[in-house]
Amino acid sequence: MAKRIALVTCTAQALEHDSEDARLQAWLQEKGLEVNREIWSNPQTDWKSYDLVVLKSPWDYHEQADAFHAWLRALQQAGVAVQNPADTVVWNSNKKYLAEIADSGLPVIPTALLPQGSLPGLDTFFTRWNTEQIVIKPCISAGAKNTLLLRREEAEAEEDKLYIMLQAEDYLVQPYLQEVEHGEWSFLFFGGQFSHSLLKVPKAGDFRVQHIHGGTYAQASAGAAFEEKAAAYVQRFAKDTLYARVDGIIKNNEFYLMELELIEPYLFLSTTPDGFDNYYKALASKL
């Protein structure tokens, strides 16, 4: 009997017929697996009927994080196999994890926490990092939602607005590094093994690299040295994962992590001839 795989998605993505999800589903079916796309929040799904539940595109998880975490815990308690592992996903869903990675000694873009309900006091960050611009983003977010880019001269006028935002949730603040204008690197790993990399570039005058904001991407190689640097984050914090995407910038010949994507990253499988096969081999090792 064929192994049954649930590719977990969200309502908005479930019916897409020309998506990475659809292409991956077809590829895996050709390999003899029974693969269905399932919406994580659908209470009718019999998750126990699957040999493996794979998080692929639950892109709305950040809008209902408590429910998403509860769903993962329910799968865990029911003994359902999940990739990436539930504990790793819960940890990775809050960007406070960046502090833990930084504490380990691996390079991370400087990051400070603005706790829920706090007063912003943004001027101290410009001084601390000797920067003229800072980036502020929610600790639980995706797709650059509610992400702000502020200049020093704008900060005071924006503090009231940010104070209101801080009543709802925690935020992070980081210095804006101009290197992102030249591109953000993504390194893809399947089963802990490097697969491919690409460079994502924002549109002129923007800093957001997501395609919904006008960003573009292309397969590119940063070289073996940077692939090894990216692998260090996976080996330390994502050892047992099916997939991992290491996002960051290169500054003064050093790689600095922006995010370690272990929940629902776009995998850019079509940018390299071996992308889908590398994914399949890692998946087969988990079955």
Residue of higher predicted confidence among 165 and 25 = 25
Distance of CA 88 to the CA centre of its chain: 12
pLDDT > 70: percent of the chain: 94
**What is the spatial distance between Cα 111 and Cα 125, in angstroms, rounded to a whole number?**
10
CB 7 within 8 A of CB 38: yes
At 282 the pLDDT is 97
Tokens of 44: 């009718």
- 87: confidence class by pLDDT, cuts 50, 70, 90: very high
Q: What are the domain boundaries of the chain?
A: 4-83, 97-106+179-268, 112-176
Least confident of 79-83, 146-150, 194-198: 146-150
Tokens of 45: 């799904």
**What is the spatial distance between Cα 266 and Cα 83, in angstroms, rounded to a whole number?**
15
The 10s digit of each residue's pLDDT in 157-208 is: 888 888 888 888 899 999 998 888 788 999 999 999 999 999 988 766 566 5
pTM of the model: 0.92
Rounded to the nearest 10 degrees, the angle between the axes of helix 20-30 and helix 275-286 is 60
Burial degree of 46 (CB within 10 A; 0-12, 13-18, 19+): exposed
Give mean pLDDT, residues 79-88.
97
**What is the spatial distance between Cα 261 and Cα 258, in angstroms, rounded to a whole number?**
10
At 132 the pLDDT is 93
DSSP secondary structure letters along the chain: -PPEEEEEE-TTTTT-SSSHHHHHHHHHHHTT-EEEEEETT-TT--GGG-SEEEEEE-TTGGGGHHHHHHHHHHHHHTT--EES-HHHHHHHTSTTHHHHHHHTT--B---EEE-TT----THHHHHHHT-SEEEEEESS-STTTT-EEEEHHHHHHHHHHHHHHHTTS-EEEEE--GGGGG-EEEEEEETTEEEEEEEEEPPTT----SGGGT-EEEE----HHHHHHHHHHHHHH-TT-SEEEEEEEEETTEEEEEEEE-SS----GGGSTTHHHHHHHHHHHH-
At 86 the pLDDT is 96
The 10s digit of each residue's pLDDT in 101-128 is: 999 999 999 999 989 988 778 889 999 9
At 80 the pLDDT is 97
pLDDT at residue 216 is higher than 80 = no
| Phi/psi of residue 45, nearest 5 degrees | -70, 135
pLDDT at residue 212 is higher than 70 = no
Query: What fold does the segment set 112-176 form as a domain?
Result: Dna Ligase; domain 1 (3.30.1490)
Structural class in CATH, domain 97-106+179-268:
alpha beta
| Phi/psi of residue 261, nearest 5 degrees | -95, 110
Least confident of 28-37, 149-158, 223-232: 149-158
Residue of higher predicted confidence among 45 and 213 = 45
Pairing of strands 34-39, 4-9: parallel
Place of tokens 């994890």: 97
At 123 the pLDDT is 87
At 214 the pLDDT is 63
Residue of higher predicted confidence among 202 and 148 = 148
At 254 the pLDDT is 95
Residue of higher predicted confidence among 5 and 154 = 5
Query: What fold does the segment set 4-83 form as a domain?
Result: Rossmann fold (3.40.50)
**What is the spatial distance between Cα 51 and Cα 58, in angstroms, rounded to a whole number?**
19
- Mean pLDDT, the chain, rounded, equals 91
| Phi/psi of residue 130, nearest 5 degrees | 50, 55
